[in-house]
Chain A
């Protein structure tokens, strides 16, 4: 199976029934995408498949031939932060941090579709991402902040 992950092509020979999450983590070795529930309930594994936010635990390798995948590693790096990541840092969002990759992937997708989201737009887009530390107030602030910066850019 041939996938593009963050612009890099990968030929993956694993069981086609393997969820993308585990292909990314255990086969390709990109561990920024997290396992939380395995059944699409918590959003920790959110990636973009052909631009759409997708729970990578619930889509299998066999359905992804030729797909363009973007993971948190493709959004930005510590040396080259994306605007959304800078907003996350400036708002000091993360606590334990485990859900944050998924949160950021959902936020990126929201801001791609809705340039100036309202609180209820944010609620609707982020409802599928669970955070047990309760970082929600700062997630909301960081998304508003990023939207402003992207508008100004």
Chain B
């Protein structure tokens, strides 16, 4: 703890008073400052940045990106619960880009706290979160933070709206507000008189709500804690949900783009003579680092773009995968960027002992969202409108404003549904390209759609990473674990793009999922080495946890095997004094999977654990050998989320996250040749298909003392659980992903 405190004090900037002042997560601050960004349409009344009362119900502004995780439904339920709305009266919208919707919890997520022993909220309250003051104004969806960030704020927004509506009813009915109840979107008087929120709204709007509106006792919840029908489900089952790629405006033209396959290399020469001669082509636009064709339909733009001859400059990084990894490995030779865990004395413990030594590595990975990158934009009368499926609307606004040369307040961002995000849409490249096209064709709306091949080859990838580990294990379990992880820094790569600088302080993301695990290994050191390989890297579902859980959980399996210990029992012992919550998660999974009894003949099991984004997760997978290859039979997943706001939706994220992790573990790999990404489409970078999926059994626990997110935590344990199962089945200890380079899986 003291060491952690030292790092925090030394490395981070001065704390902002607004954040420490005790109202940071309250509703009041946000209602006062910044201003409410919403303007009412006819028949609407707006109470605060989250609540719009319409004549036929309530629209809740859910300012986090709906990219599949069900966030609109859960955030809307926070407001609806406090307003006593009937669920069929509720609608959700993304709302505008505004600092009113800043994600404060995400801003603190890059801090080197250890969640299982120092609660996230405590750290934030201590003021340690102002790591990057500039990040504070960002409205972003990521880090599995949406519900945590909204949990108090959006309930207070609902409670404040309810308060003023009740006051208005009391005034009209000349009754004591204490005597009035609310239900089904109406205020109800003791005599049964019902006044709907719609009819009260105009009278309520001038009434000041209390600064800290009283919240319901969770025991009285009727929506929260229940599995609600998702608000987006009907639209998504009927093809009527509008994704970015579905944006249609009168007179719209359709565009596509090609950037240098050597990522970040220059565009030296463009010859678009053939494209310009095609009848459907309306314009060829030089975007500086990419060339775009604008045409009457997307297919024509794709086709014309293929005829453009471009001379590309070289990549600013080594040309091949092997050379890139050799460069990453060099980072081990330099002093660590940070040593975020250093318990006991690992060097003394290793000296003279029998040491197990292993090196692990993981490849670069693409996000490969189902909806390829796209955005639409229109520049008209000096104002820019952008339609983008995105995870960071205020970033989109500011970057597009800068690219086009208009003030940020002249930019309107419409956040559409996202056809997958996984971190890819926290970037802004696609939207800036669309904005530049709008500038080239003022007055004409342009929809830019990337070909799948452009999407696959121009990602901000999950970085390749290498871990070197040494361990000593005795009859009671590991006594020493010394680990060093080397990888390019996601935080630095994103920081440079967003702010023009790498954030200060140790790189927590590089070692998250490793240094912060609830293992009481007496001599335990985790160091991070940052490589400056310039392949663009970004947040990929679970970020650093995605590789570190694989490294640590497989190595612990090795140590268990070395000492003849049961991997579950060994972990429970390590967790003993550290975290009862973590131990409960592992025990529950082991019980569900009958870990204590041998797997059926021809089958084997593997387990792994990771505490990420505040959520401890244990996964056990059972696999079998078939003639067609290894088959995934069944997976058990247990999470402790503190408070399960919507169990069915959480379950969906558990299986989704696990499938995402299994996909990458089995077959995910981005490789480079001549500086370009080799994988082009789902032919060489596929996702698992229905026949490859195991059966799932999930359980949600609620003993963790704080609410935590669910979008990412099921991903990290999937790869190590599977790799450990493969070892149990085949005796092959695979230390480099993807697994299908060594063993065959049934398809």
Query: B-contacting residues of A (Cβ < 8 Å)?
Result: 14-15, 18-19, 21-22, 25-27, 29, 31-39, 41-42, 44, 71-73, 75-78, 81, 85, 88-89, 92-101, 104, 122-124, 126-140
Contacts and interface: CB of A to CB of B under 8 A. Distances in A.
Contacts of A95: 68-70, 652, 656
Contacts of A101: 239
Contacts of A41: 681-683, 686
Given A22-B297, A41-B681, A96 B238 contact: no
Interface residues on B, range: 35 or more
A77 B691 contact: no
Given A32-B240, A123-B690, A133 B420 contact: yes
Given A29-B248, A133-B656, A71 B239 contact: yes
* Most chain A CB inside 10 Å of its own CB: which residue of B67, B372, B682: B682
A27 B299 CA distance: 11
Interface in B230-258: 230, 232-243, 245-246, 248, 254
A32 B372 CA distance: 15
A140 B233 contact: no
Given A95-B69, A95-B656, A97-B68, 17 more contacts: A15-B299, A18-B299, A31-B239, A32-B240, A35-B298, A81-B238, A85-B238, A92-B649, A93-B233, A96-B369, A96-B419, A98-B243, A100-B236, A122-B690, A130-B687, A134-B658, A137-B696
B422 to A, nearest CB: 8
B237 A81 contact: yes
A62 B239 CA distance: 26
A23 B245 CA distance: 15
B370 A130 contact: yes
Contacts of B246: 31
B573 interface: no
Interface string B652-675: 100110111001000000000000
Given A92-B230, A97-B417, A132-B370, A34 B245 contact: yes
B652 A138 contact: yes
A122 B691 CA distance: 9
* Most B C-beta atoms less than 10 A away, residue of A93, A96, A132: A96
Contacts of A123: 690-691
Contact of B299 (A19, A44, A93, A122): A19
B370 A99 contact: yes
Contacts of A138: 652
A104 B237 contact: yes
Given A41-B681, A136-B659, A94 B299 contact: no
Q: Which of A31, A93, A126, A135 has the most CB of B within 10 A?
A: A31
A64 B230 CA distance: 38
A102 B59 CA distance: 30
Contacts of B695: 137
Contacts of B368: 132
Contacts of A78: 234-235, 238, 240
A1 B45 CA distance: 50
Contacts of A85: 237-238
A85 B234 CA distance: 8
Interface in B387-421: 417-421
Nearest to B449: A35
A137 B682 contact: no
Query: Chain B interface mostly helix, strand, loop or mixed?
Result: loop
B254 A26 contact: yes
B452 interface: yes
Contacts of B420: 96, 98, 132-133
A interface majority secondary structure: loop
B235 to A, nearest CB: 7
Contacts of A94: 68, 230, 232-233, 236-237
B280 interface: yes
B693 interface: yes
B689 A130 contact: yes
A93 B237 contact: yes
Nearest to B242: A31
Contacts, number: 186
A73 B237 contact: no
A100 B298 CA distance: 22
Contacts of B681: 37-39, 41
Contact of B372 (A35, A72, A136, A137): A35
A32 B234 CA distance: 13
A85 B229 CA distance: 14
A18 B663 CA distance: 33
A152 B578 CA distance: 55
Contact of A15 (B239, B300, B658): B300
A34 B302 CA distance: 16
Nearest to A77: B238
B451 interface: yes
Nearest to A72: B239
7 contacts: A31-B242, A32-B238, A38-B681, A95-B70, A96-B371, A98-B371, A104-B237
Contacts of A71: 239
Could you say which of A21, A122, A131 has the most chain B C-beta atoms within 10 Å of its C-beta? A131
A15 B280 contact: yes
Given A26-B297, A81-B237, A97-B236, A137 B689 contact: no
B655 A137 contact: yes
Contacts of B297: 14, 18, 22, 26-27
A99 B663 CA distance: 17
A131 B690 CA distance: 9
A97 B70 contact: no
Going nearest first, the 5 A-B pairs with the smallest beta carbon separation are A32-B239, A134-B659, A98-B419, A97-B236, A96-B68
B648 interface: yes
A41 B246 CA distance: 21
Given A22-B298, A134-B655, A88 B237 contact: yes
Contacts of B230: 92, 94
Contacts of A37: 452, 681-682
Contacts of A128: 689
Q: Which of A18, A88, A131, A132 has the most CB of B within 10 A?
A: A132
Nearest to A71: B239
B197 to A, nearest CB: 24
B687 A132 contact: yes
B656 A72 contact: no
Contacts of A133: 68, 370, 420, 656
Q: Which of B243, B419, B451 counts the most chain A CB atoms within 10 A? A: B419
B369 A136 contact: no
Contacts of B449: 35
A132 B369 contact: yes
A37 B680 CA distance: 10
Given A18-B297, A92-B229, A127 B245 contact: no
A123 B237 CA distance: 20
